[in-house]
Structure 1
Amino acid sequence: MAHNLQVLGFGALAIDDIIYVDRPLSAGKGKVTNRTQDHGGNVATALVAVAKLGGRAGFIGWLSDQPLTDISARELERHGVDISFAPHRPDAKPIRSVIMVGPEGDRFIAYDDDVPHGTSESLADSILAQAQVLLIDGYATHADTIVARARKLGLAVVADIEWTIGPATERLMSLSNHLVLPLKFAQAYSCETDPTSILRKLWSDDRSAVVLTDGERGSYIRQTGDAVLWHVPAYEVKAVDTTGAGDCFHGAYAFALTRGKQPVDCAVYATAAAAISVTGPGGRMALPDQSACLAWMVKENAPVPRAIAPAD
């Protein structure tokens, strides 16, 4: 069937109260320089990034059955994310987060995630089959049958996982053919420290890519059919707020997949998008459009992927 949407995703929505302070977070005390509120959630922000880049994105996680009071849902719509296929339940609500941001853009996030997670098990295959990519986060352990169905239907599953709850997370990772993970989580999960060792350890025959993101140090990639492992350096930027940078990376990576790009090229594109996103406040306020990303990618000092080791 025709792909009416390119990227679908489900995960927790969030409302973020963001506090900017004048000293590093390690200082223990400092003055508030600014306060703002933004909407977040790993997958939700990634989908907003897809829409901002010009893609067709749809959210299929739980929404409140009171649409007029569901401000998180309205915010997704405002940014161009389709919510018409999302299931509803009376107890659905967003996570509430407080984010402290230091002068160098580093942040600490405190959140309360006692909300419904996953999505409806009755979600129709015809909805999933509209898209080319399914974006998920660690909360997708609550609906791994949906992830399995998406893979069976031929969707690429891009997983943003930051913690493990044991066998349920392991199953979720086995169902995901594009693991796009923070390096720190991957180190803890794999019991390895070197990125090349982790890329080899997390590999499986049905994997399309493993991508390890490491902030200002860039990302490390293994892709199917390639004899080498890759490193994509990060851009040198003055970070205002790193909130949502990883989400932006995931959204841009997923969007690039829908355009037929190989994983390394997806990571190059996502690196530009994430770099732009940290130059402004909040998790969504500085998300870039397609023209901004393309302009950054042709800069004289734009990062160039380099082979770092054999794949095996």
Structure 2
Amino acid sequence: MPRRTLVSLGSVNADFQVRVDAPAGSQETLLAHQFRRFAGGKAGNAAFLGARFGHRSLLLGRVGDDALAEQALAPLRDAGVEVAVESVPGRSTGVSMITVPPDAKKHIVLATNANDDWAVPGIEAMAGVFDGITGPACLVVNYEVPAIVVRRAVQMACRQGWSVVLDPSFPDRVERDLLPSLTAIVPNVAEAEALVGFAVASLDDAARAALALQSEGVSIACVKLSDGGCVLAGDAGLWHLPGGHLKPVDTTGAGDGFTGAMAIALLEGRPPLEAAAWGVATAQHAVTAYGSQAAYPDRARVEASAGELLDRAVPLERPAC
């Protein structure tokens, strides 16, 4: 059987993370502790999971020509990710500055830096990498790189018959005419609100948002909820996967873990509801430890938790307009 490939395209960052004893903005200066440096970025996090789950995992992106590039990339290489990331002369690597308050709900300030520095030769080089991939593949991509890069990647992936999973961060960059080319779109609540134009304050709202996105042509629309669960709209109908009861330590990277695990499950040919259960299971385990990649569970834990989650899945009625 040909080896399956997860192709992860998007942001690659160096994360700087601290815990604080009060919410961001509650006072001018917050006293911090437990300072840590991690590898991060949406594409880096998804690629880490691809390798951790036993697939060929290929990372495409940009870093700067600075010391932070190794902070962002070394843990990925160590995990077995194939790093096809270009260093951009004169630019800084993307940086996420993360504070984690007592309720574990992180606050992030992101400097995209080199992530947004793509030129035509780099896009053409990406096309060459895509052409060299044989066997089943899935592209997982986000908009923390320029929209033209996402467009070209999605077009190439579709030509090769791959599945495509989009994390729509940043939602204002999303080009709506690409939605029919996607296998799945996986916004969080804030991103869903930006995309559909109405508040997502309840389960019915999340269902309406998922259906609205699906109506634009995407096969699977999955709204990630703040409790770690999700609402899924797909060919098998409308479903709610409830969040878990694990006490969160740090929510950093949980959404990225959801996206990566769902993409991996789809790559393996699993049904959409099972794929979403993989996403929920990964996100739930990710919040129980500090950091993102370092907190991600292994395949065995995800498979076991996903099975339990499927038993709790609830079919939903279509909400009234």
TM-score tier, shorter chain, comes to 0.7 to 0.9
Q: 1:92 touches 1:116 (CA, 8 Å); kept in 2?
A: no
Structure 1 residues 297 and 210, CA, compared in 2 at 3 Å: closer, same or farther?
closer
Residue identity opposite 1:13 in structure 2: V
Size of the aligned set, in residue pairs, is 306
Cα separation, 2, equivalents of 1:5 and 1:65: 31
- Matches of 1:9 and 1:187 in 2, distance apart? 25
Deviation at 1:260, TM superposition (A): 1.2
Q: Which residue of 1 is the match for residue 123 of structure 2?
A: 120
Report the TM-score, using the length of structure 1 for normalisation.
0.87
Q: What's the counterpart of residue 202 of structure 2?
A: none
Query: What does residue 196 of structure 1 align with?
Result: 207
Amino acid at match of 1:46: A
* Aligned equivalent of 2:142, options 137, 146, 158: 137
- CA positional deviation for 1:92: 6.0
From the two aligned structures, give the one with the greater helix fraction: 2
Q: Distance in 1 between matches of 2:68 and 2:223?
A: 39
Measured in 2, the distance between the counterparts of 1:11 and 1:249 equals 16
Q: SS of the counterpart of 1:254?
A: helix
Which consecutive residues of structure 1, in runs of 5 or more, have no partner in the other structure? none
Cα shift at 1:91: 4.7
Q: Separation in 1 of the partners of 2:267 and 2:88?
A: 31
Counterpart residue identity of residue 12, structure 2: L
RMSD over aligned Cα atoms: 2.8
**Identity score, percent:** 23
1:179 aligned residue: 185
Change in 2 beyond 3 A, CA 1:116/1:293: closer
What is the deviation of 1:98?
1.0
Summarize the Cα distance change of 1:91–1:5 in structure 2 as closer, same or farther, 3 Å threshold: farther
Name the SS of the counterpart of 1:185 in structure 2.
helix
Counterpart CA distance in 2 for 1:68 and 1:34 is 20
Cα gap change, 1:129/1:182 in structure 2, threshold over 3 Å: closer, same or farther?
farther
Task: Label 1:43 to 1:131 Cα distance change in 2 as closer, same or farther (>3 A).
Answer: farther
Q: TM-score, normalised by structure 2?
A: 0.85
Tell me, in whole angstroms, the C-alpha distance in 2 between the residues paired with 1:88 and 1:120.
14
Taking the aligned partners of 1:109 and 1:68, their CA distance within structure 2 comes to 18
Check 1:25–1:90 CA distance in 2 against 1; reply closer, same or farther (3 A cut).
closer
Of stretches 66-75 and 277-286 in structure 1, the one that deviates more from structure 2 is 66-75
Does the 8 Å CA contact 2:49/2:261 hold for their aligned counterparts? yes
Q: Is the 8 A contact 2:188 2:224 kept in 1?
A: yes
- Structure 2 CA distance for aligned equivalents of residues 100 and 56 of structure 1: 33
Match of 2:280 among 251, 271, 281: 271
Matched, 1:251 2:260: yes
- Which amino acid letter does the alignment assign opposite residue 131 of structure 2? S
- Render the CA deviation track for 1:132-186: whole Å, top value 9, x for unaligned: 20010012513111211111211111000123335x6324444322111112211
* Structure 2: stretches of 5+ with no match in the other structure: 200-204
Other-structure match for 2:161: 154
2:38 pairs with 1:31: no
1:58 maps to which residue?
58
Please identify, of 234-243 and 142-151, the stretch whose mean Cα deviation from structure 2 is larger. Answer: 142-151
Is 1:287 aligned to residue 293 of structure 2? no
1:222-265 deviations in Å (ceiling 9; x for gaps): 112x2x31111111111111000001111110111122111111
CA distance in 1, matches of 2:319, 2:270: 20
2:142 maps to amino acid: D
**CA distance, structure 2, for counterparts of residue 275 and residue 68 of structure 1:** 29
Matches within 5 A, 1:4-83: 4-25=3-24, 27-28=26-27, 30-63=30-63, 70-83=70-83
Matched, 1:307 2:295: no
Name the CA shift for 1:287/1:69 in 2 (closer, same or farther; >3 Å).
Answer: closer
**1:297 and 1:187 mapped to 2: Cα distance?**
27
Determine which of 218, 221, 235 is the counterpart of 1:207: 218
- For residues 85-96 of structure 1, what are the structure 2 equivalents within 5 Å? 85-87=84-86, 89-91=88-90, 93-96=92-95
* CA-to-aligned-CA distance 1:177-198 (integer Å, 9 cap, x gap): 2111112211122113312221
Given that 1:53 and 1:288 are in contact with CA atoms closer than 8 Å, whether structure 2 keeps it comes out as: no
How big is the shift at 1:62? 3.0
